[in-house]
Amino acid sequence: MSAPAAYPAPRPTAESAPFWEAAREGRLVLQYCPACGRWQFYPRPFCTECLSEALEWRAASGQGRIHSFTICHIPAHPVFADRVPCAMGFIDLDEGVRMLGEVVGGAPRIGARVAVEFEHREDGTSLPRWRLLEEEGAA
């Protein structure tokens, strides 16, 4: 007998633990480099621009635009079988970093504004995903 299928869970590292801890609290945080004024994602032990190790975790706006997306019809793991079709997108955050995640709340299109929200799972993990925002002038 096999155990019930569970969602694959993030495995925080020393660098990424603050990101996942904030996600559990429903907050999106990113690494910021005070030395050169740049944000970065994914988390790393140093700034990829100036190599400073004095990075800070700061609250992000949680908003951005869809850079690209695809509609997934084949689940990447059997546990996702009841979640397809779903939209997965690359999101260009207002801070200038790009994140990958599920896009919810309508039909995605390139350039559409999105805001982060968090899916809080029963296993204690929380994943960011992106909800489409209505824009001025949109039908």
The token pair at 96 is: 């200038």
Burial label, 119 (beta-carbon count in 10 A; 0-12, 13-18, 19+)? middle
Coil, helix or strand at residue 22:
helix
Q: Is the separation of the CB atoms in 74 and 50 below 8 Å?
A: no
Question: What is d(CA 107, CA 112) in angstroms, rounded to the nearest whole number?
Answer: 10
User: Of the two residues 23 and 30, which places its CB atom closer to Zn ion in the complex?
Assistant: 30
Task: Report which residue type is found at 122.
Answer: E
What is the smallest separation between the CB atom of 54 and Zn ion, expressed in angstroms? 9
User: Of the two residues 33 and 112, which places its CB atom closer to Zn ion in the complex?
Assistant: 33
What is the smallest separation between the CB atom of 47 and Zn ion, expressed in angstroms? 3
> Which of the residues 48 through 87 are near Zn ion (CB under 5 A)?
49-50, 52
User: Of the two residues 22 and 33, which places its CB atom closer to Zn ion in the complex?
Assistant: 33
Quick one: which of 36, 76, 84, 107 contacts Zn ion (CB under 5 A)?
A: 36
Q: Given the rule CB under 5 A, which residues bind Zn ion?
A: 33, 35-36, 47, 49-50, 52
